[in-house]
Structure 1
């Protein structure tokens, strides 16, 4: 029940990268008020929880902490797979999803996890999507399910992750009042299929470089 085209690449790369840089440097809120450095959006639950991937990482990478409010729940199905490399890819894909949601619902000056797990086209389109929430003074609340997740490892060292998203249990939320609109009805567009490409950085992080999405995907219903 929230726009799920967040990781598509319909925006031109140059324009989106400009938006991404501005977003990452100045904070998502884009406000000059004294409240621009708040750690949480108005009306959000005061107790924030750290969102850890369902497949804990056994590496030694120093990762930025991701915290989501208690009214946000992301459910990732299909892990562990039994393959250590695929599990690592899925874990960083989960972190990437959580980093985008954190940037949307937590009004902070910086969101380091966003560019830690995304780069290139994927970072640009994510930043554009995030900014759209702030431009419209809205956020979201509820549970999102991620399922039918599959990892394909390529010979060039990259990986592809495909998965379905069910957003029928999420609701739009007013940023200023913190009030959720639960009158919004679920629709076929709440079921989205994603196809993402990831590359492993020199630090050992699987960063998403590009993503395509299909709304109202029959394979996800």
Structure 2
């Protein structure tokens, strides 16, 4: 069983015209996907934003992940404050979904702060898949090739890749983890997102499309 429930992918497509496919370590059964970081979340390696991040300055909600959930975000600083804010808020949207998985709650403030519209609907379905299957995830997910492809006023589009081959499902009752993947390339994801700056200055993710096993991310 791979990270992210497969049932979520179908529901996402129907509910929000999105495709959230699977990534993550397991027994080669894809799951619905999209993913992460925050407070004690080990969003390490190359930080997604400067230490005085937009969320810190604005007093935005703190995001807390399990100690065994590790997100690595590459390419967070461009030197352009607007683009850096977009990249930062992208990581927060990912983190907010993972916080919902970890805390078993979609009511945490960060979820509604960083996700809106179809992306929020899709994210909620994706998270619900974890609840339904009685699992969480553990390990590491790397996000890379993060590129802002369009920026017009308060609307931006962003593409990025993820590598979920080192993350695994974990059964909440037994603590048992899914096994190692047989083909890491199958656990690469390509994401296309739309972000819109709201009245509070937050770049909310409003649309999200993902493709599993993307050759562009190899």
TM category (shorter chain) comes to 0.7 to 0.9
User: What is the CA distance between 1:84 and its match in structure 2?
Assistant: 1.0
Which of residues 3, 11, 14 in structure 2 aligns to 1:11? 14
CA offsets 1:29-76 (integer angstroms, 9 cap, x no match): xxxxxxxxxxxxxxxxxxx82567620324642211100111011000
| 1:166 aligned counterpart, secondary structure | strand
> Cα distance 1:156–1:79, how it changes in 2: closer, same or farther (>3 A)?
closer
The reply on whether 1:68 has 2:65 as its aligned counterpart is yes
Q: What stretches of structure 1 of length at least 5 have no aligned partner?
A: 15-47
Q: Which residue of 1 aligns with 2:142?
A: 145
What is the TM-score of this pair, normalised by structure 2? 0.77
1:115-146 C-alpha deviation (Å, 9 max, x unpaired): 11000100000000000111011111000000
Q: Is contact 1:7-1:211 (8 Å) kept?
A: no
Larger radius of gyration: 1
- Residue 55 (structure 1) aligned with residue 49 (structure 2): yes
Distance 1:7 1:82, change over 3 A: farther
| Worse overlay, 5-14 or 73-82 | 5-14
Does residue 78 in structure 1 map to residue 75 in structure 2? Answer: yes
Query: Helix, strand or coil for the counterpart of 2:139?
Result: strand
- For 1:35-114, list aligned pairs within 5 A: 49=40, 54-56=48-50, 57-58=53-54, 60-108=57-105, 110-114=107-111
Aligned length: 188
Is residue 2:118 matched to residue 1:124? no
Question: Separation in 2 of the partners of 1:164 and 1:152?
Answer: 14
Question: Could you say if the C-alpha distance between residues 4 and 143 of structure 1 is closer, same or farther in structure 2, counting changes exceeding 3 Å?
Answer: farther
Deviations 1:81-120 (A, max 9, x none): 1111110000000011111111112234732111110001
SS in 1 for 2:120: helix
